[in-house]
Structure 1
Amino acid sequence: MSNSSRVKTGPACDSPEAISLVRGALDKFNMDELMNCMHCGFCLPACPTYQQTGLESYSPRGRIALMKGVAQQQLAVDGEFEKNMFACLGCRACETACPAGVPYGSLIETAREVVADHKKETGRPPLVHRLVFKHLFPHPKRIKWLGNALWAAQASGLQKLADKTGLMRILPREMAEMQQAVAKVASPLARSKRAPVLKAEGETRLTIGLFTGCVMDVLFYETNQATARLLSKAGCDVVIIDNQACCGALHAHSGEMDGAIELAKRNIEAFEQAGVDFVVNNAGGCGAALKEYHHWFANDPHWTERAQAFVAKVRDANQLLAELPPLTFSKPLHARVTYQDSCHLAHGQGVRNQPRQLLRSIPGVEMIELKEADSCCGSAGIYNITNFDMSMQILDRKMERVKETQAHFIVTSNPGCLLQMKQGIIRAGLQGQMEAVHIMDLLDRALS
């Protein structure tokens, strides 16, 4: 391929703008990791966007080739590069498939950071972007205020009225469809009554700091409560730490690494002060970010050791519950159950068998293995909002597999996946036949 054909989508390589951009990118990218990609193609069958489009630039090896072009001063950071990088779900299925162990997840985050830096140099980021990443997610109280507003809309009937009268159609299509899948939000009063510590039932084996998340603790407050009850039943004192923050995953996935690192520092400090044995979460995406804090601080000697100590304590709830003495379930669930892997739990953290083990331990459950269970459902953080059409194509394919199971419950371990599967049930016309549920909620039902 000639140099001219490789750079035709961006500024000329010898232009001052292009040279300054790629020099900055060269400092960001880890060239050893980029060069480890052998372009063998093992990642292609695992990549949802490549499977949907057949485009090489929508595949992991294609995106890595584009990254190399930018890092080696052969391509500019332009709109085409941005489109290809942000079309990626970040599901990391390619990492599982890769025989060379290429850390694609960190590479795509770096590529998006390069795009974000370029935008900051050439103009201010869009208003919505600034509102979300600067003025919302770093501030837990503001997220709670939004949750209170959503609760008020639901409790007063405004949400149902807007839906029935067609007012929801004034929203963008992706928001109008998504709101149908949002469950009833816990009231501010209920959330205010949560005890800061839930003591273990019987002998205390461990003291757990529950990572409650940001949106998770508003939209899925009851799931956090169910998780705490399960851990308490398993012999853990469960501590709710007030000064914890968002995990930073959405910032990292969007190229806002400075913001992600600031959130990570707040969490490390909060859980250090709490002195807990483990930091436990119930969201695959959050857990993957928490377990990678030491990589985020690789170039910061003042925080590297503290980040490593924090990461050593992080556990997914499924992981820890599977290691503790078995729970005793008092309420059999006579139902067919299938499990949809959270991408960041399966591919990012390697937690696959533990959720299935826990589900099989519920009396009366018939486990039906879902074909392509570890392929992405299309949620991917906020991908189902920013890339709605592609997300729905991937979801519809997933729901064809889900239908084959004829399950009563489709279970997952991540809030984004749960909302996506709820939306999938609506799109597939399976209301009344199937329920999407977080694994912690289903386990909690069997304990009641």
Structure 2
Amino acid sequence: MANSSAKFGKPAIEHSNPLARTLLEKLDYDQLTNCMRCGFCLPACPTFNETGMEPASPRGRIAMMKAAVDGLMVPDQQFEDQMNLCLGCRACEPACPADVKYGQLIEQTKEAIEEHAHHSAPVKVMRKTLFKGVFPKRGSLKLLGGSLAFYQKSGLQKIARGTGIMKLFPKHLAEMESILPPATSKGVVEQLGTFYAAKGEKVGTVAMFRGCIMDVMFAGTNVNTVELLSAAGFDVHIPDAQVCCGALHAHSGEMNDARALAKVNIEVFKKLGVDYVVSNAGGCGALLVEYDHLLEQDEQYREDAKWFAERVIDVSALLVEKGNPLQFAEQEAAQEGVKVTYQDSCHLRNVMKGSSAPRVLMKKVANTEYIEMVDADRCCGSAGVYNVVQPEMAGSILEHKMEHANNTQASYMLTSNPGCLLQMKLGIEKHQPEQTMKAMHIVDFLHERMISSK
């Protein structure tokens, strides 16, 4: 009979189901039993709000995890489907009075599921190509960026759209292709080098985490990040040997690969001895700040992982809390009160606790009116690659998000994460708001309007 209390440890059950055995091995049973089934997480959960179904809530998913571990249910396809339906936005964590680490539980569950997954041949090839051949390797990322740039600039993109070739792809993929930003093979290091000196009075030394896709699709944002930090008084290192943070791997159950990437980054950044490791992508930052948890069982890297995690900070928070004051002025000076709104990055808000700093910075821009969007803290449906693998749910969430966005009548929709940015671009493209609206990363918005440091 299964033990019902965490003080007795994990239940002593011999599972006949392979997935159940792996779940028993990997899941933190203390966290499973910490859930009080109070339901505070329900209104915070996007998938529960969309479906109204208990299994699509954090409480419901934890109940299924525990039932599988306790031998009360066999983790079947429906179990896997509900776990994969989770966005991983972690909005349930701030709402939980028992401080249940749901994000850790869902990653442990997905890791177990992936160990027993039976993917089709094309999916196997795609996962191996992306997770092992592209994201971890800078050379492959540069090739990807260069290939996309050629596609966009050579006329092939116009031909593909004009001839209707894109109609051969699933609708959601064709929609995403339509809003991709200009790609490049020349990231921030190629443009600025590996060190960028502070301007004016120096207040600290930081290292920038450039990301993988971020440095291919949003290299300009990385460059603008460095220049903002410099203007605020920071010497900025951009180590070229850094690799992908591992977030996409962790969210997809590839935890061993995520740990391997974390070790590389820890070694690279530890050598620099910087005050802070700066992220401009909420999704990356949320895993970086939890490298200590990711490697807590690794005796060799445990202490260094803690050193690293303690120094991770979002660029907005660093500018507000530690940087020299910056002045910003709205470009459209002829207009009165340009309206600006903001979509929270779930991981920046719920994991890094960084919801206030971006708002502080936006309100410093002269001649702007900040409009708080209803449910700005709700997930937009991007969630890494969620909008690609779960397009129906992601689309439904985006529809509700755009209702609130349109009601702000804002000219600018700002955010702090590349995935959110693309999702909001897609929403604007599909809805064509009455008030012309532009989606931007907050770094780009501020950089365009930066005057000088005091």
TM class, shorter-length = over 0.9
Secondary structure of residue in 1 paired with 2:25:
helix
Moved more, 406-415 or 430-439: 430-439
Secondary structure of residue in 2 paired with 1:229:
helix
* Aligned residue among 208, 217, 232 for 2:215: 217
- 8 Å contact kept, 2:329–2:367: no
Distance in 1, matches of 2:168 and 2:285, equals 35
- 8 Å contact kept, 1:186–1:222: no
- 8 Å contact kept, 1:36–1:102: yes
- 8 Å contact kept, 1:342–1:413: yes
Secondary structure of residue in 1 paired with 2:410:
coil
Aligned partner of 1:61 in structure 2 is 59
Distance in 2, matches of 1:135 and 1:152, equals 21
Aligned partner of 1:430 in structure 2 is 433
What displacement does 1:191 show? 6.8
* Aligned residue among 309, 314, 317 for 2:312: 314
Correspondence 1:109 to 2:107:
yes
Distance in 1, matches of 2:48 and 2:387, equals 17
Distance in 1, matches of 2:189 and 2:295, equals 34
Correspondence 1:129 to 2:127:
yes
Aligned partner of 1:329 in structure 2 is 328
Q: Normalising to structure 2: TM-score of the pair?
A: 0.91
Aligned length: 435
Distance in 2, matches of 1:271 and 1:191, equals 15
Distance in 1, matches of 2:157 and 2:120, equals 40
1:264-343 matches, cutoff 5 A: 264-323=262-321, 324-332=323-331, 334-343=337-346
**Cα deviation digits, residues 169-196 of structure 1 (max 9, x gap):** 1222221110111112246499733322
- 8 Å contact kept, 1:77–1:118: no
Q: Normalising to structure 1: TM-score of the pair?
A: 0.93
- 8 Å contact kept, 1:89–1:378: yes
Distance in 2, matches of 1:163 and 1:428, equals 20
Aligned partner of 1:442 in structure 2 is 445
What displacement does 1:133 show? 1.5
Change (3 A) 1:233 1:116: same
What displacement does 1:122 show? 12
* Aligned residue among 354, 359, 376 for 1:356: 359
- 8 Å contact kept, 1:138–1:246: yes
The unaligned stretches of length 5 or more in structure 2 are 3-12
Distance in 2, matches of 1:384 and 1:316, equals 24
The unaligned stretches of length 5 or more in structure 1 are 4-13
* Aligned residue among 256, 259, 262 for 1:258: 256
Distance in 1, matches of 2:172 and 2:221, equals 25
Aligned partner of 1:6 in structure 2 is none
1:2-81 matches, cutoff 5 A: 17-18=16-17, 20-81=18-79
What displacement does 1:425 show? 0.1
What displacement does 1:16 show? 6.7
What displacement does 1:331 show? 5.0
- 8 Å contact kept, 1:23–1:73: no
- The residue type paired with residue 325 of structure 1 is N
Change (3 A) 1:308 1:190: closer
- The residue type paired with residue 362 of structure 1 is V
Identity across matched positions, percent: 47
- 8 Å contact kept, 1:191–1:221: no
Change (3 A) 1:43 1:275: same
1:141-220 matches, cutoff 5 A: 141-186=139-184, 188=186, 192-220=190-218
Moved more, 79-88 or 323-332: 323-332
Change (3 A) 1:234 1:93: same
Distance in 1, matches of 2:158 and 2:231, equals 37
- 8 Å contact kept, 1:181–1:423: yes
Aligned partner of 1:408 in structure 2 is 411
* Aligned residue among 231, 234, 237 for 1:239: 237
Secondary structure of residue in 1 paired with 2:296:
coil
Change (3 A) 1:121 1:229: closer
**Cα deviation digits, residues 64-89 of structure 1 (max 9, x gap):** 01100121123333322211101000
Change (3 A) 1:307 1:193: same
